[in-house]
Structure 1
């Protein structure tokens, strides 16, 4: 019986959904676990940008926020920007100008928002349906303005034809009378034609659009309209400022509307300076704040907080799964029942603060354990498999990033016997951002000040667990001498990439 229960515990780990969109909304609400005060921070009426790498739970956070605000009677529209777009790869077509592609992106986005609001209106959930529908009509008019770009030709043709026919007839009747007749006919013609040749293009007028959005917001009152834009980084980088500028000019100033944007920090461009102005959103001014899930999930200085977070994460996810599998009571402490001593802290260390990585590593470890408890060896093998399968395979297609990672591993782990290092916060190479996106590097500390040069700021990085797990061998989890150290002292941690041969 105990063996069967253990097998069900491992199967539950393997059945945890990897992505938030694959679960229904009640499950998402029941399984959401907030790191610290993060949930309270995003549940405010301020416009915010939510940053986080892949797998940190951005979509889950937005869907959980949608559930919360709708419970209070507000209206939340969750928009996955991966699903926005025209056919034929229009956004990636470099033959068109960025302005043309950006305008089409705005039109497509507004159309998607309109469709969601229209469904809300026809369901009869609006307090003032007529006002909302009028606002939606204005939104359509503002979003579908079309102009012809090209030459205009005007052609006029005039014709004048006059026909006169005169005839006279005189006849005498038998009674001695007379009859006369005359006829005249006149006709004239004229024509005018204007010909326009060119290409029809959409244009978005921010003034009418802003008034239309305000009319929509007034139509849903007393509810508040929450616009939750997910997968921002799926939009081409050169078009993101156009969409951001639309929000700044036509949506952010509107009363009764809150905008939340989820993006990957290194793949997002919200702001482009112009000569006398700027295009996009200025974080801290137009958008009240940027919230980082990466920072909320960094537990390098508090291993206990990290373990508590992931304990709750796994328990909340497997509880509904086990309830449908086990006829007996679900174990109160799932982690203690599923993992051997020392295995779960190692799983938390391997995840490096990324929930999706933790779930995938746990699933692979459970697959290896079968009907037994998960051991330290299972976790380490699973972490290595996940590293090779998901992370290394992706980065191997980028020769430069792959080379930089090799240099870092050789220097930091091989020579310095550490897993952490410091780099200047400004002017970091693109390869470092690529490695962070792939979760092969993890930012543990931001804005570290050099006491000898207070004007210089550094960021503290850690190399991913998968890069050095094979060096641990069979070392016990509590054997600190086998684990690379976390060192952030300036005389030992600062790394000069030029000296490593990264740049000439």
Structure 2
């Protein structure tokens, strides 16, 4: 039976877009109140690193709202537009790139709304919704020619000429007859030639007006705009797309906008003079939800364990032969793992990232072959996944791997810890890159210590794959970090908000800069 379970694990898809709509529904696992929050009609941004399940959640939301009868528009921003690389081509003026992006997005929204109305013509009056849809299309395809307009007049002449000789014999002699015909016609045509540049014009108030008319004719149904893969839009264009959504859709009753984004790869706002801005203001225009807050093991071990138990069950059970399908997740875990501690270690190794969980589990099943998955299999799988995927990804950016190794030496090597503190106002592109690459994980925000009054810190943990080889050795981490509490100096296992002293856990990135300068001098 274990060989069949392990084969089922190896068949799991690693990305949500590989699943059908039905499979997305069957395999979806909610975590805490996450999906309840997303079903709220407020405009929201769903933050989460790659692999945390944003696409699965948003695709599931689309399917659920569609089943309720609402008009759900799903935008995969990786595939918007037909000209590859156009949006990121800096040789094209910013205004032109931004306008083309908005036209492409509006075109996709328009087409999906039209498809929805055609599929629901029994409930929606096409004669009423058709005109505002057509007006919407006209509004975002309006073109203005900048340059002179010339009129060219041409005269055309055509003609025909016929001639012939007829010879015959009669009683009176030989007869000859010659004739010719000449026809000529003249005509005059005009051609208007334009020169200059064609530029699209988008008038936000007109777009909003037409969207309002469309929603009013949806027969009481809501319009959901779900924009996924926001990070695929170039950073300099993101505020302009946000501005379109804010001005055209945010004010409308019956419209709800959801955006899937990576926090450190998002640029929602360009500030102007005074209080004016282009884009979306987080908190004022939209609220945000962060998936990492619900799924990191060190934040809530019971919640994370329950989530991954259900995730494994819903993904694996459908791939099993009918004869051995399980009735509960606990039955499957008992059959797939050698002991409960092996599954607990698996959850810790995932660091709250579903895509990493499926990849680690696949590697472990490959190593287990026809046996149950053991603790040894999981640790070896985590090591392989870290080396093959994560470390390789980090090495693609200059100095990122150097910083990661310095953090490992400083935190794991010198402090026997697996987490560190950084000031909340510290902005470092390499730290953001390591976070996006899932080799460090943000597990707690805004903690404080009495020895550092007025300063707040974020807690980052080092990925399981970085220290898996140290487990069961005298160099294994003793806890998250060392701090002074009411009980004295101790290693913290679950982060709290306030401590007596936290200086031992603070990581000073200036020390890294000094060390790299010293190495360059050597």
1:40 positional shift: 0.8
Q: Which runs of 5+ in 1 are unaligned?
A: 158-191
Q: 1:148 aligns with which of 145, 148, 155?
A: 145
Aligned residue in 2 for 1:76: 72
1:340 positional shift: 1.4
Matched residue of 2:73: which SS?
A: strand
Q: TM-score, normalised by structure 1?
A: 0.86
- Residues 1:85 and 2:70 aligned together: no
Aligned residue runs from structure 1 range 185-204, under 5 A: 197-204=195-202
Change (3 A) 1:155 1:143: closer
1:460-479 Cα distance to aligned partner (Å, 9 max, x none): 0001111111222xx3xxx9
1:94 positional shift: 0.7
Q: Which has the higher contact order (CA 8 A, sep 6+)?
A: 1
Q: Distance in 1 between matches of 2:126 and 2:100?
A: 29
1:389-448 Cα distance to aligned partner (Å, 9 max, x none): 111111111122111111101100111111100001113210000001000110000111
Structure 1 stretch displaced more, 54-63 or 11-20: 11-20
Structure 1 stretch displaced more, 417-426 or 10-19: 10-19
Q: Contact 1:76–1:228 (CA<8 Å) still a contact in 2?
A: yes
1:40-76 Cα distance to aligned partner (Å, 9 max, x none): 1111110000000011110111111112222322121
- Residues 1:485 and 2:479 aligned together: yes
Q: Contact 1:8–1:326 (CA<8 Å) still a contact in 2?
A: no
Matched residue of 1:220: which SS?
A: coil
1:301 positional shift: 4.1
Q: Contact 2:441–2:462 (CA<8 Å) still a contact in 1?
A: yes
1:501 positional shift: 2.6
Change (3 A) 1:381 1:121: same
Change (3 A) 1:139 1:488: farther
Aligned residue in 2 for 1:281: 280
Q: What root-mean-square deviation, in Å, do the aligned CA atoms of Structure 1 and Structure 2 show?
A: 2.2
Structure 1 stretch displaced more, 72-81 or 446-455: 446-455
Q: Distance in 1 between matches of 2:284 and 2:127?
A: 35
Q: TM-score, normalised by structure 2?
A: 0.84
1:101 positional shift: 0.3
Q: Contact 1:331–1:337 (CA<8 Å) still a contact in 2?
A: no
1:223-261 Cα distance to aligned partner (Å, 9 max, x none): 111111111111111111110000011111112110000
Q: Contact 2:117–2:124 (CA<8 Å) still a contact in 1?
A: no
Aligned residue in 1 for 2:131: 134
Aligned residue in 1 for 2:165: none
More strand by share: 2
Aligned residue in 2 for 1:495: 507
1:79-112 Cα distance to aligned partner (Å, 9 max, x none): 1111102314211111112111011000001111
Q: Distance in 2 between matches of 1:326 and 1:491?
A: 57
Q: Distance in 1 between matches of 2:210 and 2:265?
A: 31
Q: Distance in 1 between matches of 2:271 and 2:482?
A: 35
Q: Distance in 2 between matches of 1:300 and 1:19?
A: 25
1:290 positional shift: 0.2
Aligned residue in 2 for 1:302: 300
Aligned residue in 2 for 1:272: 270
1:193 positional shift: 11
Q: Contact 1:419–1:463 (CA<8 Å) still a contact in 2?
A: yes
Q: Contact 1:424–1:459 (CA<8 Å) still a contact in 2?
A: yes
Aligned residue in 1 for 2:187: none
Aligned residue in 1 for 2:488: none
Aligned residue in 1 for 2:177: none
1:120-174 Cα distance to aligned partner (Å, 9 max, x none): 122234522222211210111111111123x4377999xxxxxxxxxxxxxxxxx
Aligned residue in 1 for 2:487: none
Q: Contact 2:224–2:256 (CA<8 Å) still a contact in 1?
A: yes
Q: Distance in 1 between matches of 2:53 and 2:266?
A: 17
Matched residue of 1:243: which SS?
A: helix
Q: Contact 1:299–1:306 (CA<8 Å) still a contact in 2?
A: yes
Q: Distance in 2 between matches of 1:310 and 1:358?
A: 8
Change (3 A) 1:392 1:484: farther
- Residues 1:17 and 2:13 aligned together: yes
Aligned residue in 1 for 2:242: 244
1:221 positional shift: 2.7
Aligned residue in 2 for 1:360: 359
1:320-363 Cα distance to aligned partner (Å, 9 max, x none): 111xx242452642112101122111111111011110111001
Aligned residue in 2 for 1:66: 62
Q: Distance in 1 between matches of 2:150 and 2:364?
A: 76
Aligned residue in 1 for 2:491: none
Change (3 A) 1:130 1:311: same
